[in-house]
Every structure is written in C-alpha cells, then in structure tokens.
Structure 1
Amino acid sequence: MQAEDQPNPNEEPDLLTNAITVARLYYYQQMTTTDIARELDLSRSKVSRLLSYARDNGLVEIRIHDPREHARQLESQLRSRFGLARAQVVSVPEMAGETEWLQRVASHAAAYLNTIVASHMVIGIAWGNTVNEIVARLTPKATVNVDVVQLNGSGNTLSMATAFSSEIIMRFAANYDARPQPFPVPAFFEFAETRTALWRERSVRALLALQQRCDIALFSVGAPSAGVPSHVHSGGYLEPQDIESVTADGAVGDIATVFFRADGSYEDIALNARTSGPDLALFRSVKHAICVVSGTGKVASLRAALRGGFMNELIIDEPTARLLLAQASAEER
C-alpha cells in the first residue's frame, strides 16, 4: 500500500471515530467491507484502510480462544506432579457423555501410536474396552519385524481364548504388518499351582520373555465403578468369591488383570497369584508405557497406578485430568 493511501490524521480529524465505526460494523455486526462502504458512502479501499488503522492503533484486539491451551496447561501439571515423561490431555465436550469422551481419547491415542510404532519393535497389548476402541481407529502403517504380544490371558470358564481379546491382537498386528503373539491361557487360573506349572513350559517361557522385551506397552486401568465398565469387571471373569477376595485385600483397580491397592502396592494381593498378567514391575522398565484413560470413574484406579509408577505416558480426557489433579491437590492439603 502506498504511503498516500494511508489514513492521515491531520487531514481527517474524525479518523478515529470513522475507524471505530467501521470496526464495530465489521466485527460486531459481521458486515462485509462492501456493505460497510455502501452504508457509509465510502470506497471499499477506504473501509479496508480504516480497518487496518483500527487494528494497527490498538482500537481492535483480536483473541483466539484455543480450547487446547488449557489442555496444554493440564499436561504440564500432570508431568510435574506425577513424574510422567509425556502427558496428553484430549479436549472433549463435557456434556457429550463418557462414551464420546472415550471415542475421542481413543482416536487421539491411535494417531499417536502411528508416530512411535516403528520396525524392529515389540509391542505389548493389555486387552480391554479402551484398547479395543483404540484398535478400531488405527490407520495402517507398514513396518517390518514387529511383534504384537498379548500381555495377559483372556480365557474364562466358557472358552480358553475369547474372540474379544483375539480380535484386538490380530487387528493391531495386521495394522502394522506385524506378527501377532496371542496368549491362549486363562485370565485367571483356578489354582496358583497350575499357573506355576504352565509357566515352566518352553513355549510359554518364550512368550513371557517376549513380553519382557516390550518397547511399547499399551493398556488402561480397570475400575469396577467406571462409567464405561472395564471388560474384566463386566465380562464374567471374576467370580463372587474373587470380588470378595480383592475387596478384602484393598484392591482399587487392575492393569492387565493384575490388581493393586490405593498406595500402588500389589505383591501380596491373593488373586494376583492366579492371574496370567505380568508382574506390574514390567511397566516401569518399558520405554513407552502408555496408559490411556477416559472417564471420571477411573480416577481412583489411575491415582493408585500413578503411585505405583506403572506408566510413563498418559493419554486422558480433560474432565478426568482436571478431577485427577483436583483430588491430588486436595490430598496434599
């Protein structure tokens, strides 16, 4: 724009008034520059110059309210308070309900996985409703020499290998051209001695060794009070006496069918002697131990898992993240 085209305050004493008038019509009434020019009997170029003058001289302040900005603040607080390497908070419409929250968090997690899954990796999967939602939203990515290993068995009193968990492992592996490594054992053994004996089998030892080599572990936390119930709690895996046992032992949640207390301890919970899930210490050594959580009903379980140090990455919806931080702050008072 040439200098002579600029508004000149010395030549137009009412420049300020005109600039404010034009700005009000443009920003408040959503009028086009053509409509404003017609209404004020000005040229379109004059209207454009007045708008520029209003912006350049502080008469107009434009703000963009990014809903992700608050999410970034929450991520920083989560990393600092819980010692996480990475925290990702997903903005969700609070009134939409927890089913939609889960879908949005799962979409975010699926997209993130494609940024870190690479060739020559071992990926451990703890099956469940959250991971199932993630797998449904994966986009194909070609890799070589990748193993996708199931971290805990899924057999119950009706079947040794359920379609639910098998499909999760197979679909995840197919998405990355990887080798699926299912774990065809019960989720919970009837006798701890049976597990001990089976764990001595060469084929089972090979699979357990593969679990220990995980570069990525993908899981959620189980909670009986979650708005979207955890599959292990809603799928008939726990007998009434099992529920009584873990309750008596003070368990508040599980990861890969291994239960833990509010303080993060788990070693002497009776039912864990019969579970097929890995020792939770495994998750402390995995490069990407990714816990994906959605729903405020999981906050107590998540806080306990954080105390236990069972994750170094967290993907969570914003309302649940806020509640988690609020409860942690209240606890410190």
Structure 2
Amino acid sequence: MTQSEAAAGRPADETGLWASAITVARLYYYQQMTTTDIAHELGLSRSKVSRLLSFARDNGLVEIRIHDPREHPGQLESMLKQRFGLRRAQVVSVPESAGELEWLQRVASHAAAYLNTVVGSNMVIGLAWGNTVNAIVERLTPKATVNVDVVQLNGSGTTQSMSNAFSSNIIMQFAANYDARPQPFPVPAFFEYPETKKALWRERSVRRLLEMQQRADIMLFSIGALSAAVPSQIHSGGYLEPQDLESLAADGVAGDIATVFFRDDGSYRDIALNKRTSGPDLALFRKARHSICVISGLSKIDAIRAALRGRFVNELIIDEPTARLLAASTPQPK
C-alpha cells in the first residue's frame, strides 16, 4: 500500500498516524532494524514504535505469511490445482473433531486475510451474499483503497420485501472495509415471471449494475447446497417454494452460485428456475481475474465438484477434510 492510498480521505491527524505506521513498518520489516534503532532514528520511544507496529498489523498495512516446506496441506493444494485446473488452491488446516461450524470460521478467517493481498485500488469487486461471505466480512482487516466499487451480484428481495438487511449489511461492511463505493442490487432474488425480469433488465439503473458486474476483477462467493450442514440463506431463508424445490430436483441440480443453479456436470443454461433468478450468467465467473470460491463442509462435496467441472472457480479456499474428500472422490482426468 502506498502512503497516498492510506491517507486518502482521512483527517490530517489520522493520516499522520498511518504514515508513521508505514514508515516504522518499512524500517522494521524491510530493513530489519530493531525497535530500539527505529526509536533512535525517528526520535520516538520504544513503546511508541511498538504501538505503531501493532497499528500497522491491525489495520492491514502489514501482511505476515508463513511458508513452511513441511506443511502437509501444500501437497493437497498442488493436487487440487492440477486436477481441476485452478489458478490457486488454499487448503486450511482445521481440527477434524471441531465440527463444520468451526471449520467454516477458520476458512472464513483465512479468506479474509487473503483478500487483503488481492484487493487493491481501481477495481470492481463482485459479491454473492450469503452465510460464508458474511463470515468473511466479519473478519476483514481494514485496508485503504481508492476508486473501488463493490457490487452485489444477485438480488435478495422476497415476496414480502425488496430490502434485505442481511445482504445489505454484507455489501456495506465489505465496502467500508476498503473505503470503497457500495453498489447494492435492489431486485428480488427470484422473479415470479421471466418476463418481469426481462423488462427490469432494460432499465438504465439496472443496466449500469449489470455492466459493472461484467467488469468485476474479483468475484467472491460460496456454493449453496440443499444438503449442507450449514445451510445457505437461499435454501433456509424461505426463498424457494415447494414447487421450486421440485423443479430443481427434476432438473438434477447439484448446487448454486449467486442463486444460479447448476448440475453435476456443470451445465446450467436450460435449468428452468434460472430463467427467474436475478443472479448473473455463470460464464461471468469464468472470465474474472480472481474467481474466488470459499467453501467448507463435507456435505457440499457434490456441489463443489460440479462447480469445478463447470470451471466457475479459478481460486479455491477450502478446509482440509473437505479438500481430502474432494480429491479422493474425484477421479483423475484421463
């Protein structure tokens, strides 16, 4: 991060604090000076230097990575990258006995830390709201950027209300973390009639958001599955009527991304319910520079595998037990 980015839009006293923290961090990490030497050079006390270093770490100005050649998940990451043609695979170590809720929290923390290495200025970031992305947002570390838009990828309105505090909070908090512009998508999660969707998609205000989605540099999402131990909001929040569930079963659906459903083989274009969804064409996930899927839980194996077959993911962040099952249950391509 540059000092100008860190200072953008901040009061003078806060800007000075950030600039001092960056200076101290560079001396400590780049030049490997001791806190005593830094204090002497800058005319500060050692305690002040320590506080500035803590401030730099706590506010995302410093990112610490550990590269352990003995780390066992590294072999699994290489296998997943090769088998599924991924740009990056990150396997998160978790205690197997802790349960899937704890796994999700560990994976979300890892994803939150990773995002600060890829989110930068002059970007568009697409978010598919849901329980996993919400867990990530709760663990983000602030990082200042300029000229960043955070656009919601799918609507969240229901038959009772067009507004949804859960999805709105995710978009607003994520944007605030990066000093970005939030771009909510105030439409229903599912339309009652395909014709209604087609008509609304012609409106200029909606077209602007759709065009922004098309330009996304980062797509952040998880995968929904009806059988998941930690059910997604779409599947547990009353969005789907009994007849919708019957339709999905008839179409052989394995999972969804941003309320767009797909089958075991990754096909999705002729699934009936997709004609009424507000989510984007899944081809959009294939072209994003960072198509980041964050997922956890053994019950999502079929949905993960299907999404990988559809090539909707180029970066995968996953817990170790689920990654092992995925690798063991997916035959190598011939």
Range into which the TM-score falls when normalised by the shorter chain: 0.7 to 0.9
2:155 maps to a residue whose letter is G
Alignment partner, residue 254 of structure 1: 256
Shift of 1:328: 0.2
Question: Does the alignment pair 1:163 with 2:126?
Answer: no
Alignment partner, residue 285 of structure 1: 287
1:113-149 deviation digits (Å, cap 9, x = unpaired): 0011000000000000000000000010000000000
Shift of 1:282: 0.1
Question: Does the alignment pair 1:316 with 2:318?
Answer: yes
Report if aligned partners of 1:68, 1:91 keep a CA contact under 8 Å in 2.
no
- The 1-side partners of 2:148 and 2:234 are apart by 27
Count of matched residue pairs:
267
2:255 maps to a residue whose letter is G
Shift of 1:310: 0.1
Shift of 1:157: 1.7
- The 1-side partners of 2:69 and 2:243 are apart by 46
Alignment partner, residue 225 of structure 2: 223
Which secondary structure does the structure 2 equivalent of 1:69 belong to?
Answer: coil
- The 2-side partners of 1:176 and 1:332 are apart by 40
- The 2-side partners of 1:67 and 1:292 are apart by 24
Query: Any residues of structure 2 matched to 1:47-58 within 5 Å, and which?
Result: none
Shift of 1:227: 1.0
Alignment partner, residue 74 of structure 2: 72
**What TM-score results when the alignment is normalised by the length of structure 1?**
0.79
Pick closer, same or farther for the CA change 1:249–1:279 going to 2, 3 Å: same
Alignment partner, residue 193 of structure 1: 195
- The 2-side partners of 1:200 and 1:171 are apart by 29
Match of 2:96 among 94, 97, 109: 94
Alignment partner, residue 129 of structure 1: 131
Alignment partner, residue 151 of structure 1: 153
- The 2-side partners of 1:154 and 1:187 are apart by 4
Pick closer, same or farther for the CA change 1:298–1:286 going to 2, 3 Å: same
- The 1-side partners of 2:289 and 2:319 are apart by 23
Gaps of 5+ in 2: 1-67
- Structure with the greater alpha carbon radius of gyration: 1
Match of 2:235 among 233, 236, 247: 233
- The 2-side partners of 1:86 and 1:68 are apart by 19
Shift of 1:332: 6.7
Alignment partner, residue 210 of structure 1: 212
- The 2-side partners of 1:123 and 1:74 are apart by 28
**What TM-score results when the alignment is normalised by the length of structure 2?**
0.79
Report if aligned partners of 1:67, 1:91 keep a CA contact under 8 Å in 2.
no
Pick closer, same or farther for the CA change 1:332–1:142 going to 2, 3 Å: closer
- The 2-side partners of 1:285 and 1:195 are apart by 24
Match of 1:104 among 103, 106, 109: 106
Sequence identity, in percent? 77
Shift of 1:72: 0.4
- The 1-side partners of 2:78 and 2:281 are apart by 29
1:180-199 deviation digits (Å, cap 9, x = unpaired): 00000000000000000000
Which secondary structure does the structure 1 equivalent of 2:199 belong to?
Answer: helix
Shift of 1:67: 10
Question: Does the alignment pair 1:181 with 2:183?
Answer: yes
Alignment partner, residue 278 of structure 2: 276
RMSD: 1.3
- The 2-side partners of 1:67 and 1:319 are apart by 20
Report if aligned partners of 1:293, 1:317 keep a CA contact under 8 Å in 2.
yes
Shift of 1:159: 1.2
- The 1-side partners of 2:299 and 2:257 are apart by 15
- The 1-side partners of 2:281 and 2:170 are apart by 22
1:47-82 deviation digits (Å, cap 9, x = unpaired): xxxxxxxxxxxxxxxxxxx79722101000000000
- The 2-side partners of 1:159 and 1:101 are apart by 33
- The 2-side partners of 1:267 and 1:161 are apart by 28
- The 1-side partners of 2:231 and 2:194 are apart by 27
1:78-114 deviation digits (Å, cap 9, x = unpaired): 0000000000000000000000000000000000000
1:206 maps to a residue whose letter is R
- The 2-side partners of 1:271 and 1:123 are apart by 26
Report if aligned partners of 2:132, 2:222 keep a CA contact under 8 Å in 1.
yes
- The 1-side partners of 2:255 and 2:69 are apart by 31
1:95 maps to a residue whose letter is S
- Dislocated runs of 4+, deviation >3 Å: none
- The 2-side partners of 1:67 and 1:275 are apart by 45
